[in-house]
Structure 1
């Protein structure tokens, strides 16, 4: 018997199975984790009219840009942003290298392990912690530390890696857009270098398509003569609020035709996208499912929050401007891929 035959037969079988699976997926239609309704239909209609040749709303492939906020839009942001969790977890290691921090606030509070006290830390306190744990080291060292943390850290509620808490419906939107010629970008208030470490594995978005809050780097040489970059405590771009469209212009160079967010920090990005000529899609996610995820606003009477705030004023603007307001509770069949 020709020993190559089984391998060829196996390969052909796999190809046939893949083709059959693709046919089934196409027959089922896009966005399988979405309930049928206005939100799902708005996404499908937008993609159809902007990618169909001859359509008055046709968008040339080079101009098909879609931007996504990350925290609260692509994955879970409660009870605290993941990059803050990383920063807090890094404080003990930082204190080993710099023992003087053990008696300096806010590091002293973090090292105490008192969760109530930690929860009361102010924004300036958190900024000090982020500056200390995100800077003063080679970029490669920082990337290695984030990778290590991502592999071991677990969300306090689901006890799963953070990268498993990506919203399945939004994964499907990313895949659907890319399948139709759109280039997908993350535009986040989180640290740009932090998100770039895992963005490709988690979302299929390469690091060069991540726009985030960015700090300066300094070029230098090691003892071995090899060049490297050091992360410095100097802010270059605060990628929140108006910083999002500013960052889009700076790093992408094209106004998006579609933008996705979930909070007041995404307001200007959604406005900027919708104000462009031709067909545009601005979508904002409302977290209103306390059972499967979290419920917070304070829009529509939901509990108020400092993390991912979605005000009634923003909700009213979304309705007035024709943005798509997605209800996690009503529009999503499931939230995570691991749900049965």
Structure 2
């Protein structure tokens, strides 16, 4: 009887201990192992008062790329999908597009002709979708699109395709006194519409590419900002450290990306004094998401992967390191 009682007590203790661990685990969607341990260890070192690596809260700046780092980016960047859908919606107001390239090729479904237009053609389509309206109207159009558009593979709203492990990481960092920022090549006004709800990152902590806006007054004297087709700043590649310096004003101690477009941001973070964390998300899970890196036209990870390997930066293997990819409500 005593042995049975002891066994029951042991089982109850194990269940309670397991439950407590699950509740205390700040990164439940991350598999136990080196990657998760490196994150937890770094946070512990920089937040322990009196420790050799302690960093004051004011200096705990963490920056994250968005496309391919915080949410999916395949088969095309989601902002490009928005722009193309918007061009279709605006086509009735622009009959001249039926005879103008690249609009003619896109609207007629002529992929060969559209491909011949190259990157310049795509930028022309994006500019048409993003300009000629006020910033308030643009925000409304983004919100409306997110409420109706579905990803072609997963058949879910695009803003459901955020990475659950990275959302947990953002929350974990903020709970430990970090200030989290998005630093992305995507359009800043596109991201600010939904980033706070998705990631807990407010609009003022989103750094992205920007277009020129023009202040204007309507007939009643009401002011607005009109979006133009002129590019003001590209927050990608070497532009990312520039954007960080211009908008944030502090060098990060923690940075995450997923592609060669993030290399300079990681280098800039690593070049600071004291302990640093540089991470890359590597897409290795074709079943739950996508598998791509060096040869991909979207989110190419080549030079940054070589430098991460050479310098000991943390590389997240999506297939091995993540228990889940998307939030639980998303069927994987």
Equivalent residue, structure 1, for 2:310: 320
Equivalent residue, structure 1, for 2:279: 283
Out of 198, 204, 211, the residue aligned to residue 202 of structure 1 is: 198
Equivalent residue, structure 2, for 1:43: 39
Tell me whether 1:305 sits opposite 2:296 in the alignment. Answer: yes
TM-fit CA distance, 1:68: 0.5
TM-fit CA distance, 1:117: 5.6
Equivalent residue, structure 2, for 1:162: 158
TM-fit CA distance, 1:139: 0.6
Equivalent residue, structure 2, for 1:91: 87
Using the alignment, how far apart are the partners of 1:234 and 1:121 within structure 2? Answer: 19
Equivalent residue, structure 2, for 1:336: 326
Unpaired segments ≥5 residues, structure 2: 1-18
Contact 1:91 1:110 in 2 (8 A): no
Instruction: Name whichever of 321-330 and 24-33 sits farther off.
Output: 24-33
Instruction: Give the 4+ runs in structure 1 shifted more than 6 A.
Output: none
Equivalent residue, structure 2, for 1:265: 261
TM-fit CA distance, 1:26: 7.0
TM-fit CA distance, 1:94: 2.4
Contact 1:187 1:211 in 2 (8 A): yes
Equivalent residue, structure 1, for 2:13: none
**In structure 1, the residue corresponding to 2:292 is in which secondary structure?**
coil
Structure 2 length as normaliser, TM-score? 0.90
Using the alignment, how far apart are the partners of 2:217 and 2:201 within structure 1? Answer: 31
Contact 1:292 1:335 in 2 (8 A): yes
Equivalent residue, structure 2, for 1:293: 289
Equivalent residue, structure 1, for 2:134: 138
RMSD of aligned C-alpha atoms?
A: 1.7
TM-fit CA distance, 1:30: 1.6
Structure 1 length as normaliser, TM-score? 0.88
TM-fit CA distance, 1:95: 2.1
Unpaired segments ≥5 residues, structure 1: 1-22, 299-303
Q: How many residues align?
A: 313
Using the alignment, how far apart are the partners of 1:99 and 1:185 within structure 2? Answer: 41
> Aligned in 2, Cα 1:75/1:222: closer, same or farther, shift over 3 Å?
same
Instruction: Name whichever of 27-36 and 106-115 sits farther off.
Output: 106-115
Using the alignment, how far apart are the partners of 2:143 and 2:116 within structure 1? Answer: 28
TM-fit CA distance, 1:322: 2.0
Query: Within 5 A, what are the aligned runs for 1:35-184?
Result: 35-114=31-110, 118=114, 122-184=118-180
> Aligned in 2, Cα 1:79/1:293: closer, same or farther, shift over 3 Å?
same
Contact 1:240 1:265 in 2 (8 A): yes
**In structure 2, the residue corresponding to 1:287 is in which secondary structure?**
strand
Equivalent residue, structure 2, for 1:18: none
> Aligned in 2, Cα 1:25/1:195: closer, same or farther, shift over 3 Å?
farther
